[in-house]
């Protein structure tokens, strides 16, 4: 019989994915979308992983959302057939867009007359009609048209363009990441809903059909109370959560599915810190919660090789490319505790960025390694 593979036997750095936590997170969000009466179109940029995407479909997802053309191509090649690219249309990728639109229901997103004109020209040249969402700014002020500005005129042009299938309106209220209480997150989510439902009504009143209204983020979905006027949600991070979500109160520690396993490689007596083999290219340099009272460097350590308890004192306090510097508030937190060769687990501030830095997940149940899933992180 093959020997059981254990976390303690893995080469480091490794990205551990707790299968039971993942499955609980997927089921909980699917149930939440169902209770709120909306379809779920998870954002797969969080995991870039076919096995996880398939589990999301098995939980009832109506399709998937991607951030890059490479993600769209990877998932389409694996049979995912309803894909939204929720990113302002990249005109330099129009050849790939038309090629993919021939094989799957591929929905692009745009927020400018220039992008619409280029998309329509490419679709006409290819002899097809391409699905497109109009991106709306519901307060994040990153991309998307101002619903009170030229948005109605652009929607009318999209709906009237024969080479484009107007899918409806889409937004991402990313300002939910700055909300520090459930009440504040609920208010952001309600403003997102009200902006989009109100804008859809205005378009319909102007004679423009709006087939779908798409919103969503993980913090928003954790607190939203109603979604009338919305047809689908696109949370992504909920599959894993991370220290940012935990620190903001979006999830509990036992809902964080992804951790980085690292080795202590150096500890000089009296230095007050130890060095691990998980630096910026394992954890990213995302500083995490913007609330200084909650920030813990690049991520806190966990208590052991399995389980969910955070170490109360030790964090990765700095990183260069491959070195992570672990320390606590006092030198004694490291002295006599961390020795060269020890294994530690780190909860990354931002799991989507950490996942994009690894080639695969080591899938674990407790301390047992039960699988290895590829992370498709090409661009």
The residues of the shown chain that bind ligand PLP, judged by CB under 6 A, are 43, 46, 86, 172, 216-218, 234-238
Beta-carbon contacts of 364 under 8 Å, excluding residues fewer than 6 positions away, are 7, 16, 17, 18, 19, 306, 370
Q: How far apart are CA 196 and CA 71, in angstroms?
A: 27
Q: Where are the beta strands (DSSP E) in the chain?
A: 14-18, 39-40, 64-66, 82-88, 105-110, 130-135, 164-170, 212-215, 232-233, 258-266, 274-276, 300-302, 310-319, 324-327, 343-346, 360-365, 368-374
Kindly state the smallest distance separating residue 136's Cβ from ligand PLP, in Å. Answer: 11
Kindly state the smallest distance separating residue 228's Cβ from ligand PLP, in Å. Answer: 20
What is the strand order of the sheet 64-66 is part of?
39-40, 232-233, 212-215, 164-170, 130-135, 105-110, 82-88, 64-66
Q: In the complex with ligand PLP, which residue's Cβ is closer, 220 or 324?
A: 220
Q: In the complex with ligand PLP, which residue's Cβ is closer, 98 or 218?
A: 218
Kindly state the smallest distance separating residue 139's Cβ from ligand PLP, in Å. Answer: 13
Kindly state the smallest distance separating residue 82's Cβ from ligand PLP, in Å. Answer: 16
Task: For residue 284, give the nearest of 270, 295, 274, 299 by alpha carbon.
Answer: 299
Kindly state the smallest distance separating residue 235's Cβ from ligand PLP, in Å. Answer: 4
Beta-carbon contacts of 3 under 8 Å, excluding residues fewer than 6 positions away, are none
Q: With residue 353 as reference, give the H or E element that holds it.
A: helix 351-355
Which tokens is 371 given?
Answer: 């699988």
Kindly state the smallest distance separating residue 173's Cβ from ligand PLP, in Å. Answer: 9
Distances (CA, A) of 294 to 246, 273, 284, 289: 10, 21, 18, 6
Position of tokens 């799991």?
A: 351
Q: What sign has the CA pseudo-torsion 66, 68, 74, 76?
A: positive
Q: In the complex with ligand PLP, which residue's Cβ is closer, 42 or 300?
A: 42
Q: In the complex with ligand PLP, which residue's Cβ is closer, 156 or 178?
A: 178
Q: In the complex with ligand PLP, which residue's Cβ is closer, 86 or 255?
A: 86
Q: In the complex with ligand PLP, which residue's Cβ is closer, 251 or 298?
A: 251
Kindly state the smallest distance separating residue 152's Cβ from ligand PLP, in Å. Answer: 22
Q: In the complex with ligand PLP, which residue's Cβ is closer, 220 or 297?
A: 220
Q: In the complex with ligand PLP, which residue's Cβ is closer, 249 or 272?
A: 249
Q: Are strands 324-327 and 310-319 parallel, antiparallel or unpaired?
A: antiparallel
Kindly state the smallest distance separating residue 51's Cβ from ligand PLP, in Å. Answer: 19
């Amino acid at each position: 019989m093959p020997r059981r593979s254990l976390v303690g036997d893995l080469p480091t750095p490794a990205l551990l994915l707790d299968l039971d936590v993942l499955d609980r997170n997927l089921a909980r969000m699917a149930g939440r979308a169902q209770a709120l009466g909306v379809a779920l179109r998870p954002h797969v940029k969080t995991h870039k992983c076919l096995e996880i995407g398939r589990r999301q479909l098995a939980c009832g997802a109506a399709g998937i959302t991607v951030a890059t053309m490479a993600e769209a191509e990877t998932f389409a090649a694996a049979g995912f057939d309803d894909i939204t690219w929720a990113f302002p249309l990249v005109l330099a990728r129009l050849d790939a867009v038309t090629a993919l639109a021939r094989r799957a229901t591929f929905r692009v997103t745009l927020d400018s007359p220039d992008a619409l004109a280029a998309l329509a020209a490419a679709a006409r040249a290819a002899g097809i009609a391409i699905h497109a969402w109009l991106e709306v700014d519901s307060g994040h002020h990153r991309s998307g048209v101002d619903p009170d500005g030229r948005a109605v005129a652009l929607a009318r042009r999209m709906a009237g363009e024969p080479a484009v299938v107007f899918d409806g309106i889409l937004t991402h209220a990313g300002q939910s990441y700055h909300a520090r209480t459930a009440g504040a997150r609920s208010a952001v989510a309600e403003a997102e809903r009200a902006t989009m439902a109100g804008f859809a009504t205005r378009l319909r009143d102007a004679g423009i059909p709006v087939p779908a209204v798409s919103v969503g983020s993980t913090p928003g979905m954790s607190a939203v109370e109603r979604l009338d006027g919305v047809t689908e949600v696109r949370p992504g991070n909920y599959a894993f959560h991370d220290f940012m979500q935990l620190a903001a109160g979006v999830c509990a520690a036992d809902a964080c599915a992804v951790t980085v396993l690292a080795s202590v490689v150096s500890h000089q007596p009296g230095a007050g810190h130890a060095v691990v083999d998980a630096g910026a290219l394992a954890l990213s340099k995302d500083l995490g919660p913007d609330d200084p009272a909650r920030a813990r460097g690049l991520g806190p350590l966990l208590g052991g090789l399995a389980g969910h308890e955070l170490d109360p004192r030790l964090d990765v306090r700095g990183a260069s490319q491959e070195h992570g510097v672990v320390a606590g508030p006092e030198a004694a937190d490291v002295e006599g505790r961390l020795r060269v060769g020890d294994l530690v687990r780190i909860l990354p501030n931002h799991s989507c960025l950490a996942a994009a830095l690894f080639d695969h997940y080591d899938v674990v149940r407790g301390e047992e390694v039960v699988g290895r899933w590829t992370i498709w992180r090409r661009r």
